[in-house]
Amino acid sequence: MDVIDLFSGPGGMSSGFAQLPEHFNHIAAVDIEAGKPGLKTSKGTETYCNSTYERNIGVVPYKADLSKLDPAELRYNVGIAQGDLGVLISCAPCTGFSQKMARNLVEDDPRNHLVERTGLFVDEFMPAFLVMENVKELLSGKHRHHFDGLRRKLCELGYSLHAEVYNLANYGLPQKRNRAILIARRDGLPVNGLTHPVALPRTVRDAIAHLPPLVAGQTDPDDPMHACPSHTSVTLERMKAIPQNGGSWGDIVQTHPHLLIPSMIGKRAGSYPDVYGRMWWDRPAPTITRECASPGNGRYTHPEQDRMLSVREMALLQGFPADYYFEGTLTQKYNQIGDAVPPLISAQIAQAVVEMQFGSPSKIHCQDFPDGPLFAGRIAAK
């Protein structure tokens, strides 16, 4: 089944499908390579994600604005007949839907229309399957009408669909991450969602404890992705003061008031507890976002070591294969990881497509953790 990935990013969704090479063949991808584009006059920041996609998936993405790209032009350039495409992936930007952004409660971000615009690409390509991932507010938030518009278009075209919000920690991801997943099929038959939850959640320890220790600013000579940023002396002092294994700035209000940043002064210790927080070893990680490049943006500090999690550690918590290579600057690498669909989850979406198309499960090839394959004993045949 040929695959085209719209809003392809660093390849998180494509990577999951690539774990089943006997069933899926990636023929094209499209991404504008701009972080948070489309808000008023902002062009967004350069992400360098297309180079990451090319290196890992083996396809050079088209650098194009999907709010303007003509679906017929894309199909002509790819050279595929209408109805021949197996899977169309379309993971439009989620920032405009998230209720964590206060302005989304009163404004409808122009990027949200990209969800409905996906229907134009479905109409042009008529793929056997459409796959989409977004924040949970796509289905439950103030701007759900964009999803409803896409749903109506899919129904007009004869597609059946499944859309549901999942806690991805229940499906093996070592991270708390609630996401909406939509799968639609052209033949109108019933649609499978994620159907193989794990018995026990995976933890930060499961994912990264085997990696060698680092100090801030160091790169592992055996793995260029096991690298983390350096910090100012004050930031390092603050990290050292915060208790290991789940501590946060609230723990140092009384003992180290001189280390508080201005926005912390006068705030309750329970306010924004994840800021400069350490992860817990034996819990799933908190939700990893594109802002994970700074300890001041969330609970992104190592449980024990006085540093940010490395690119490799963050990628493993996001379900990327252990040998995935990210291009760009250190900040761009973190941004790409936070923006991506977890490959560990997209592999299970690919599995669901295989079962619907061919009627039987297929073995998933995925990265190993210290205690064995992450999927071992968890992806059972129906």
**Residues forming the active site:** 94
What span, in angstroms and rounded, lies between the C-alpha atoms of 339 and 333?
Answer: 10
Q: With b meaning 16 or more CB within 10 Å and e meaning fewer, what string describes 209-228?
A: eebeebebebebeebebbbb
Q: Is 361 exposed, middle or buried (0-12, 13-18, 19+ CB in 10 A)?
A: middle
User: Contact 223/313 with Cβ under 8 angstroms?
Assistant: no
| 65: amino acid identity, one letter | D
Q: Is 189 exposed, middle or buried (0-12, 13-18, 19+ CB in 10 A)?
A: exposed
DSSP symbols for 16-69? HHHT-TTT-EEEEEE---EESTTSTT---EE--HHHHHHHHHS---B---TTT-
Q: Look up residue 200 and give its two tokens.
A: 């026990």
What span, in angstroms and rounded, lies between the C-alpha atoms of 278 and 242?
Answer: 8
Q: Look up residue 101 and give its two tokens.
A: 């952004």
What span, in angstroms and rounded, lies between the C-alpha atoms of 302 and 309?
Answer: 5
Residue at token pair 């977890």? 342
What span, in angstroms and rounded, lies between the C-alpha atoms of 351 and 334?
Answer: 27
Residue at token pair 């500090």? 301
Q: Can you say whether the dihedral through the CA atoms of 249, 252, 256, 257 is positive or negative? A: positive
What span, in angstroms and rounded, lies between the C-alpha atoms of 54 and 19?
Answer: 16
User: Contact 312/320 with Cβ under 8 angstroms?
Assistant: no
What span, in angstroms and rounded, lies between the C-alpha atoms of 132 and 5?
Answer: 10
User: Contact 171/284 with Cβ under 8 angstroms?
Assistant: no
